[in-house]
Amino acid sequence: MSEQTKYTEDNIRSLDWKEHIRMRPGMYIGKLGDGSSPDDGIYILLKEVLDNSIDEFVMGAGKTIEISIKDRLVTIRDFGRGIPLGKVVDVVSKMNTGGKYDSRAFKKSVGLNGVGTKAVNALSTFFRVESNRDNERKSAEFSIGNLVSDPPVEKVSARKGTKVSFTPDESIFKNYKYRPEYVVKMLKNYVYLNPGLTIVFNGEKYVSENGLKDLLEDNNNKEDMLYPIIHLRGNDIEIALTHSKTQYSEEYHSFVNGQHTTQGGTHQAAFRESLVRTVREFYGKNYEASDIRKSIIGAISIKVMEPVFESQTKTKLGSTEMGGGLPTVRTYINDFIKKYLDNFLHKNPETAEKLQRKILQAERERKELSGIRKLAKDRAKKASLHNKKLRDCRVHLGDVKKERRLESTLFITEGDSASGSITKSRDVNTQAVFSLRGKPLNSYGMSKKIVYENEEFNLLQAALNIEESMEDLRYNNIVIATDADVDGMHIRLLLITFFLQFFPELIKEGHLYILETPLFRVRNKKETIYCYSEDERIAAMNKLKGKPEITRFKGLGEISPDEFKYFIGEDMRLDPVMLDTATSIENLLQFYMGKNTPERQKFIINNLKVELDLVDEE
């Protein structure tokens, strides 16, 4: 028998809990990442601890949660009941141990499997838990899941509650850093869903009085809204919705038991379906579903007994039942929307009129575009058959592990040499490449018609699968990969304009990035250092001493595939493209892509200052 086919007792191995988590972290926290994406693992670690504090608030214990992130040390302090002192160590280090198995105590909790804090413990070089109850404190410290300090219970006068501190392991989360923007967005979601809760983050206080209405207002400029937000609340359900003047596709924010279900699920599907049914009945017209939902911005939150999610990170609801004697999720949501949305539209005829005009406008545009769309789809199918512009990845073929789908990435690049380098060095399982031919069209002020008539935009839309809704987005990360020069900056602006003009929710939801590639390679016979700035180049020269060889990369095409694999692998650096909701999208586009004003020229020059200085030096 060959070595390959031997199968004996020696092949069978049992891992303890922390070994398994560290060997297969994706099973517990989704993807890893460095913090440049809002669903990177370091934010899931924060969320897993925070969920426990939120559950305490839901149970009526503790109205304030204090959070600090300094360097890489994360601290969460709640003022709930505190973990029973005799179980402090077990709760954070023994799998399937927790208080949420007792449905009497936690009827509508999100962390039902007793895994969360154990995963945080196992994936942190430093982890400390402290519980204060009845003027006594019990604490324990761990390192990568191993207990290193277990002092006895001590007398204290501190307020009751639980405090957890941890530092994620850099050997697992490479070159990571917490981005305050992502943390704040997560914390705001918690306060939207929990009226009466105050979260203090690094001294800044976050509260919400109007729940999901506040969410939509904070995420969208009022100038972009067609009509005032419709806000409806029930016992186990809350919805908010409006339509956008500027965007074309649908945008949803959905939650279950306080958990942000970024991939939707049965509740979001029911929301979309119920909305269409109610609107048709109200107007007595059999409008197309796509015309009713076009440009919608909606949010839904429901509470379900013992929810079932499709992954450990709880991003998609699989439950069909509400539990507790209530009807199915679909029926419950439909009954609520049918009653309360219908009532609202009857009582607010001005909003009802604006909504109907929007539907009729969408209908006209759809009919005008119908022929163009059919031709465009045919072109897109033919192009994909010939594989001219898109080199896809295997994640869509079903033979890649489900948890890796969060890593799915599309690089948008320009030029044969740059596309070739990325294509040859990418991870074919999760990374795809879309090749542009020259500079894309400036789409500012143009209608959706241009997306179908312009080959580049049509094929890009087809590759992303975002014509109707973000729900079917094929890639979690869309990365613009251009040269770090004037032409490269212009291509970035043109692509960002395209997304802002037609698919702003793709940016709002944190899917768009700029790829950072090194400007210099500094090396001697023993070591090679890649530098992304002038400061890094000077530091590398000082480190290597002597007269190291210095190469300036003037374009992506100059970087060989063998080198490129380092820049799009574990050490990939991404800059997220973020949208300031204080500015309307129309005003933003006017500034960037309108007439060539002095302000715009100054902005571009300032943002290219480093590159222009380097060119001048040469």
Does pLDDT of 329 surpass 70? yes
Strands ordered across the beta sheet of 520-523:
528-531, 520-523, 549-552
What is the model's pLDDT at position 96?
A: 56
What is the model's pLDDT at position 616?
A: 34
476 to each of 8, 45, 381, 411, 561, how far by Cα in Å? 41, 20, 22, 11, 24
The winner for highest mean pLDDT among 13-22, 81-90, 320-329, 598-607 is: 81-90
Q: Which of 78-82, 125-129, 338-342, 468-472 has the lowest mean pLDDT?
A: 468-472
What is the average per-residue pLDDT within 305-310?
A: 74
Residue pair 409/427 in contact (Cβ under 8 Å)? The answer is no
What is the model's pLDDT at position 76?
A: 97
Concatenating the DSSP letter of every residue in 48-64 gives HHHHHHHHHHHTT--SE
Concatenating the DSSP letter of every residue in 143-206 gives ETTEEEE-PPPEE--PPSEEEEEEEE-TTTSTT----HHHHHHHHHHHHHHSTT-EEEETTEEE
What is the model's pLDDT at position 197?
A: 95
What is the model's pLDDT at position 463?
A: 87
Does pLDDT of 471 surpass 70? yes
Model confidence, pTM? 0.81
Percent of the chain with pLDDT over 70: 83
What is the model's pLDDT at position 204?
A: 94
Does pLDDT of 383 surpass 60? no
Both tokens of residue 531?
A: 């530098």
Between 76 and 1, whose confidence is greater? Answer: 76
Which domains does the chain possess?
17-206 (3.30.565.10), 212-366 (3.30.230.10), 387-517+553-593 (3.40.50.670)
What is the model's pLDDT at position 598?
A: 60
How many Å separate Cα 454 from the centre of its chain? 29
What is the model's pLDDT at position 382?
A: 63
What is the model's pLDDT at position 581?
A: 62
What is the model's pLDDT at position 19?
A: 82
pLDDT digits (tens, 9 = 90+) for 86-104: 988 988 887 755 555 454 4
Model confidence at 450, pLDDT cuts 50, 70, 90, reads confident
What is the model's pLDDT at position 107?
A: 56
- Residue with tokens 């007269």, as numbered in its chain: 547
pLDDT digits (tens, 9 = 90+) for 530-571: 888 889 999 999 998 888 899 888 778 778 888 888 888 877
What is the model's pLDDT at position 599?
A: 62
Model confidence at 491, pLDDT cuts 50, 70, 90, reads confident
pLDDT digits (tens, 9 = 90+) for 29-84: 878 888 888 888 999 999 999 999 998 998 888 899 999 999 899 999 999 999 99
9 to each of 2, 6, 12, 20, 92, how far by Cα in Å? 16, 10, 5, 19, 32
